[in-house]
Amino acid sequence: MRFDVLTIFPELFAPHLTHGVTRRAFESRQVDVRLWPLRDFADDNYRRVDDRTYGGGPGMVMLAEPLEKALTAVKADRGEAAPVVIHFTPTGARIDQARVQDLAAGQGAILLCGRYEGIDQRVLDRHVTLELSLGDFVLSGGELPALALLDAVARLQEGVLGDAKSHEQDSFSDGLLDCPHYSRPEVLADGRGVPPVLLSGHHADIRRWRREQSLALTAARRPDLIAAARAAGRLSKADESFLAKL
């Protein structure tokens, strides 16, 4: 799959693409990331990509013409009909694991990273097919959400994680939050130990303990996810019995 990133700060992406376990996806081109510096499409000698907003007010707005030229170039280079164009904005739909899984199974997208007060609305109206947000807060630009999305998509690609099943127990993969995890030493210096069930060797007991921990954590912190899992029929009788005792 291919992601084309339109940004005025392409240098922000280089460290992410070459470090960590997800670099396997980027280096192998399983997730082919191509950076398009927006200033390369500016007309004037100053490579200007922003100007004052019509109607007055603080801040600058990203100009339509450099963005139009960049999008035309990207679409021509991709050579495919109607690629998905994603714009990162606080007004967009919140990125969740279901959305990431859909994108991870697709052909990629064009990622439009805004800055300043935003992008000329005429560009958004003409080109954008999906608006996404990390949450109910404001960032300085779309680069951080783009990086988060690329990371989330990359780790779902085959062969990227050391254990092919690692992502299957991630938070949200089954609609719930993940359970706690423990590693060596078995007992810390202050006496805190690993839950005995994890040392028992009884795989059925361990699976059930992990499921109940996941249920308890989700019920305490994200009861909306419990309601959604119940509505989707993802809770077993054992799950419901456990939840009733909380």
Positions marked catalytic: 90, 117, 155, 170
Two tokens at 79?
Answer: 């050579």
Is 152 in a helix, a strand, or coil?
helix
Q: Where are the alpha helices (DSSP H) in the chain?
A: 14-18, 23-27, 64-78, 97-104, 121-127, 143-154, 203-221, 223-231, 237-244
Cβ atoms within 10 Å, residue 143: 23
Two tokens at 46?
Answer: 């100053």
Rounded distance between C-alpha atoms, residue 1 and residue 33, angstroms: 9
Which among 38, 205, 170, 50 has a CA at the least distance from the CA of 110?
A: 38
- Residue 112 DSSP class: E
